[in-house]
Structures are given as C-alpha cells and as structure tokens.
Structure 1
C-alpha cells in the first residue's frame, strides 16, 4: 500500500477507481494486533521512536487505552498523537527526553544510530516498520518486523522476506490471505482499519501463530 505521502495508504486507488472489484488490504490491523501481542506482559511504559505511521499511531492509542504509558521524544510527534487521541489517551501519552529509562522501544523508519546507542542495556526493540532497523547493539534484543509463523499445512515455503526466519510470513501478506479465506468484503486502506481482535482471532483460527518474544535481560 506504500506510505501516507505516496498514496495515502492506498486510499488514492479507491477514490480513483470507485468500482474496483479487488479488495485492498494493507494489513495494518493485523500489524497492530501482532505488535500488541509482542509487548511483554507486565510492561507499564514504552518509548515510540521513528516515523509515526498509521500502524504506529494505532498501536500507541491501544497501549494508552490499556493503561500503558507511551512516551515520545519530539514535540511534533507528541502533538500528532495528542491530536489523534483527543481526550482518549487517558493521560498516558507523555513527552520524555530520556531514552535510558525505557526498556521497551516500539520503533520504525527513522530510528537513528545515535538513538540506539542511548538505549539502556537489555532494551527490546520491536519494529512496526516493514523493514527491520539496523542491529547495532549486541547487548539489546531485536524482535522481528510484524510477522507470524505460518500453518504447518502450508507447504513449499522457505521464508517470506530475507530477514525473517524460515516459515515466517509478514503480516502484510498474511492479512490478504486471511481476508480472502474469511470472505470479508470490506476494504482496509487509507485511514480505515479492520477490527483488530477479529483479524487476530481469524489468523489464529487459520493456523498462523505469534512468534516467540526475545528474552529480556534481568540485569
């Protein structure tokens, strides 16, 4: 679906071709579901870094609703999220100039090497981007980009992307497969999203499984 700047997450196609028979599915709702299920239980605060995409905004909002503090380090990012959330952030959206106090980072395109170096030892980086960040820290943990383990019944599959393990598929592809298997008619593009819980449950029903979260350092 590309980005907001190029085609507004696919919305341009729908407006240009209103009678389009193909269903556009950008996978954003499944990406959000996978990210939420990748955050270790008991987490009380996270730091969001990188370009704020549709997925990043939705994840941050969902975390605030769950009572988890969401921190950003730039004023423009705070204003964008605050405007998107309105009064629904439950007071959990905060500005923070400190990187070292957060052990869970939700990261996307634009995460800099300098920022990674500021992370405290044992930090878990969880990407919301389609491409993984450069792994600079050997004393930190890096989760995969949004992806799931494929069903055992799916044959002749190596890896979906060269940075993913064998038999693991990106959610952007899985979403389209599940959409077709379920016979759903709605579009998922532009700034709209499917029901996150519904998409997650459908994926599990069809045999897709979440990936194991890298173990966090106890020191």
Structure 2
C-alpha cells in the first residue's frame, strides 16, 4: 500500500511524476477559447475568480459596490500592469473542453489610441498560447474584435497566416439571432446606430427576406447600399420618419434617436453591449444577441456579463458551434459564414433563442 511504500521508501517516484504530468496536461488541454475582457471597474467581482455570489447573477451596478471603489481602483491598477490573460471560466460540452480567457483591460482602455498596441499584443499572446495548447477555435468577444483595433481579427491572420486554430468573430450567428428575433408578419424595420459588421449582415439578411430596412442616416444608407444583394436592393430605404414599430439598434442609437420611435416599439440590439433603455412608454427591449445553452454544456456557474444564467452571447456560442461542426475556415475580417447554416447548426446542438429559455 502507498502508506507502507512511503515508510520503507519503496515508492515508484516515476508514478508521481507521471500523475503530475497527466494532471497538468488535462488542465492545459483546451479545444475552444473565448477571449473576453473586463468591462466596468466592478465587473471583476462578477467573474468567477471574483465573488461567487456576484458571478452567479447578471452584472448590474449596485449602490453598495460603490463603497468598494478603493479596491476596484487597486484591482484596475493591478490588472493594467498584469502582462497576460487569465482564465475566467472552464466548461465542458460533449467532448469539447471550453475555456473563457479574459484580457486584463477594461472598456475605457480600448478607446485609448496609445493602448491599442498593448491590447493587440495581449490578444496575440493569448491566441498563440491557445494554438500551442491545441485549441481548435478562438472566438473574439466584446471589443477584442473591434474594427478599429484589429479589423475584426484580420490583423492576427495577416500576422500569423499559419495558425492551426480558427479565428471566429461570431458575426453570422449574432446576425442570425437578430434576424430571427423579428416578429413574424413584420414588413419593415428601422436600423439605427453605428453600422458594424453585424449590422451589415442583418440588413442584407432582412432585405433578402423582403423586409424593408429603413435607414435614417444618409451616410449610413450609402455605406450599406453596396452590402445588399442587387435583387434585394429595393428593400433598403432612406427615410427620416422611421414609423416602423421594430427598431434594430446598435451603439450610437442614443436617447434622442430612440425618442423618434413610435409608442410600443420593440428595440432589438445588434451590438455587443446593451443599449441605454431610454423609452418606458410601452416599448420593450430585447437582450443583446445571445442564446440559452443546452444541458450538455456543463459547469456553467457564472453569468456572462449582463446576461441571465445559462445564457451566452452569440459571439461565444459561435466559437463552440464552429468547433462542434469542425468547420475548416475562419470568420473574421470581411468573412461572414452562411447565416442559415450557422443558425441551423446552433439549434441542432441544443442552443435556443433566449425567448424560448
């Protein structure tokens, strides 16, 4: 027995080494990595390495958390000086080992021009480490895929064209979630906010479904025109009125813009971050693009930012589906996968629209 082996020094020390190596390899092995980052100063408490009580609930700024600002400020300074990502969550789905890694930067860092190089270096370091660990897919979450930062991930492919893993920005699934959130019978929608890659994909998809997409900004209208298939181009309209009762909104759709919508409007975000809910006169707001996860996705003990428990952002789900399907292509830069194919695959693996949760 091991106890007597220990007393009489007859233990096979190589077995200890083998055991330690096997544990280490199991801990390091990963198939899918989702790269996220910190958002507000209090967001670190809502991650699993923070407080379990906070992490198990959707993120919301609480009055009592304001008294913790000295600790929040200190954690911000420490993470700013920290030179690497950290593991925020580990999950398992079927045979996939899934991890969420957080870049130690906050939202405001991504708006600082002098921080862009440092942030890109942190992301590159994480991607290369994931590749080294044998990951099949890395999905870029939140501002880690910002067009102004890295061209929706295209920068990393140019820098490392021989990556063994696939980079996914999740545009196709995020757009599919939005497009499939439009109530049946809707014949026109207003699209308002900064025109992102997801917004372009949503507009094109709705126009192809013969739904009129109304743009209230002339510059945005001209930007979107070449993105719409020729046989559906007549469904993209420029109008200042915006009388439709379904509005698809992104960042930039401020309170003034939302007040132009008629009473009872349904606002559906296409942005990574939830919009400010400026209307309370019978208007409703959907969650940011997300899906509820199947029971086969295990170890989901924390909420992803502001989303409910067992609900994940479409960008995060996209990476998991990409790996489950074994797709051998990237989705970053200008590349957008077939929305119907991605949507069907997500449903096939048990992911569901949040409304069905």
TM-score normalized by structure 2?
A: 0.57
Compared CA separation, residues 159 and 92, structure 1 to 2 (3 A): farther
Residues 188 and 69 of structure 1: CA distance in aligned 2, closer, same or farther (over 3 Å): same
2:28 matched residue in structure 1: none
Count of residues paired in the alignment: 212
Contact 1:23 1:187 in 2 (8 A): yes
Distance (Å, rounded) in 2 between the aligned partners of 1:86 and 1:147: 26
Residue number in structure 2 paired with 1:13: 156
Deviation at 1:68, TM superposition (A): 0.6
- Counterpart of 1:104? 246
Unaligned runs of 5+ in 2: 1-139
From the two aligned structures, give the one with the greater helix fraction: 2
For 2:287, the equivalent position in structure 1 comes to: 144
Query: Runs of at least 4 residues of structure 1 off by over 6 A?
Result: none
Q: Which residue in 2 is equivalent to 1:61?
A: 204
List per-residue Cα deviations over 1:67-107 (Å, max 9, x = no partner): 110001111011011122263334111111113x1100011
Counterpart of 1:125 in structure 2 is 267
Partner in structure 2 of residue 203 of structure 1: 346
Cα displacement (A) at 1:200: 1.0
**Larger % of strand: which?**
2
Q: For residues 12 and 98 of structure 1, what CA distance do their matches in structure 2 show?
A: 39
- State the SS of the aligned residue for 1:77: helix
- Structure-2 residue corresponding to 1:46: 189
Q: Contact (CA 8 Å) 1:31, 1:172: kept in 2 or not?
A: yes
Q: Secondary structure at the match of 1:29?
A: helix
Question: Computing the radius of gyration over CA atoms, which structure comes out larger, 1 or 2?
Answer: 2
Of residues 304, 314, 324, the one that matches 1:171 is 314
Unaligned ranges ≥5, structure 1: 214-219
Report the TM-score when normalising by structure 1.
0.92
Match of 2:125 in 1: none
RMSD: 1.5
Residues 203 and 228 of structure 2 are in contact (CA less than 8 Å); yes or no, is this contact kept in structure 1?
Answer: no
